[in-house]
Amino acid sequence: MRTWSLVAGGVLVGLVVRWAVSLNPYSGAAKPPMFGDYEAQRHWQEVTYSLPLQQWYFNTSDNDLNYWGLDYPPLTAYHSLLCAYVAKAINPEWVELHKSRGYESYAHKLFMRATVLVADLLIYLPAVVLYCLYLSDGSPRKKVSVLLCTLLYPGLILIDYGHFQYNGVSLGLALWAILALGLGWDALGSIFFCLALSYKQMELYHALPFFCYLLGKCFKQGSVGKGLFLLVRIGLAVLLTLALCWLPFLTDPSLAVQVLRRIFPVARGLFEDKVANAWCSLNVFIKIRSIMSSDSQVYLSLACTLFAVLPSSLRLLTKPTFWQFKLALVNSSLAFFLFSYQVHEKSILLASLPACLLLNDLPLIAIWLLQTSTFSMLPLFLKDDLWAPYCVTSVAFLYFSVYLLSPLKRCTEEELRMGAYRKILFCLPKLDLGCVVKWKFYISVLAMAALSVASVTMSPPPHLPDLFPVLISTFAFLHFLGTFLYFNIVQFSEPQRNKAQKKIN
146 near 164, Cβ under 8 Å? Answer: no
Average confidence score pLDDT of the chain: 92
How many CB atoms are closer than 10 A to CB 89? Answer: 8
Q: Is residue 83 part of a domain?
A: no
Sign of the CA dihedral running 336, 340, 341, 342: positive
Using CB atoms within 10 A of its CB, is residue 283 exposed (0-12), middle (13-18) or buried (19+)?
Answer: middle
More confident: 8 or 298 = 8
> Considering Cα of 86, then 91, then 95, then 101, what sign does the dihedral take?
negative
The string of pLDDT tens digits covering residues 461-501 is 998 888 999 999 999 999 999 999 999 999 998 665 554 44
Residue 500: inside a domain: no
Structure confidence by residue, pLDDT tens digits, 95-107 = 999 999 999 999 9
**E strand or H helix at 280, and its extent?**
helix 278-282
How many domains would you assign to the chain?
A: 1
Asked if the structure places residue 52 within a domain, the reply is no
Nearest to 32 by CA among 100, 111, 101: 101
Q: At what angle do helices 387-405 and 140-151 cross, to 10 degrees?
A: 160
Crossing angle of helices 467-493 and 363-376, rounded to 10°: 150
pLDDT of residue 500: 41
Would you say residue 90 lies in a domain? no
> In which band, very low, low, confident or very high, does the pLDDT at 434 lie, cut at 50, 70 and 90?
confident
Phi, psi of 60 (to 5 degrees): -135, 180
217-218-221-225 Cα dihedral, nearest 10 degrees:
160
87 Rama class: left (phi>0) / alpha (psi -120 to 50) / beta: alpha
pLDDT of residue 2: 81
Residue-number span of the structural domain to which 215 is assigned: 2-29+104-493
Of 27-31, 149-153, 180-184, 219-223, the least confident:
219-223
- Could you tell me if 69 and 262 are in contact, meaning their C-beta atoms sit under 8 angstroms apart? yes
Kindly report the pTM of this predicted structure: 0.94
- Type of residue numbered 67: Y
72 assigned to some structural domain: no
Could you tell me if 146 and 359 are in contact, meaning their C-beta atoms sit under 8 angstroms apart? yes
Whether 378 and 455 have beta carbons less than 8 Å apart is answered as yes
- 3-class DSSP state for residue 60? strand
In order of 122, 301, 302, 312, the CA distances from 306 in angstroms are 35, 9, 6, 10
More confident residue, 196 or 464: 196
Within 183-225, residue ranges assigned H as helices are 186-199, 207-220
Mean pLDDT of 127-147: 94
- Is residue 97 situated within a structural domain? no
Cα–Cα distance between 476 and 462 in angstroms, integer?
Answer: 24
CA distances from 365 to 131, 361, 479 (A): 20, 9, 11
pLDDT of residue 288: 83
- Cβ-Cβ contacts under 8 Å for 48 (sequence gap 6 or more): 56, 70, 77, 78, 80, 81, 84
User: With left for phi above 0 and alpha for psi between -120 and 50, is residue 496 left, alpha or beta?
Assistant: beta
d(CA 222, CA 234): 15
504 band by pLDDT with thresholds 50, 70 and 90: very low
Angle ∠(259,82,90) on CA atoms, nearest 5: 135
Backbone φ and ψ for 90, nearest 5 degrees, come out as -85, -50
Residue 63 backbone dihedrals phi, psi, to 5 degrees: -140, 85
Residue 499 confidence (pLDDT): 43
Q: How confident is the model at residue 503 (pLDDT cuts 50, 70, 90)?
A: very low
Q: How far apart (Å, rounded) are the C-alpha atoms in residues 7 and 118?
A: 19
Q: Is 63 helix (H, G, I), strand (E, B) or coil?
A: strand
- Give the sign of the dihedral formed by CA 448, CA 454, CA 459, CA 461: negative
Closest by Cα among 174, 213, 183, 415 to 327: 213
pLDDT tens-place string over residues 246-288? 999 998 889 999 999 999 877 667 777 778 999 888 888 888 8
Residue 94 lies in a domain: no
Q: Is there a contact between 161 and 116 (Cβ–Cβ < 8 Å)?
A: yes
Longest dimension (CA), the chain: 71
CB contact at 8 A, 320 and 505:
yes
Question: Could you tell me if residue 387 is inside a domain?
Answer: yes
Question: Average pLDDT, stretch 233-241?
Answer: 96
Task: Looking at 340-377, list the stretches that DSSP marks H as alpha helix, in order from N- to C-terminal side.
Answer: 349-356, 363-376
Contacts of residue 216, Cβ cutoff 8 Å, sequence gap at least 6: 316, 317, 318, 319, 320
User: What does the alpha-carbon distance between residue 195 and residue 144 come to, in Å, rounded to a whole number?
Assistant: 28
pLDDT digits (tens, 9 = 90+) for 50-62: 999 999 999 999 9
**CA pair distance 374, 395, nearest whole angstrom:** 11
Query: In which band, very low, low, confident or very high, does the pLDDT at 505 lie, cut at 50, 70 and 90?
Result: very low
pLDDT in tens, 394-420: 999 999 999 999 999 888 888 888 877
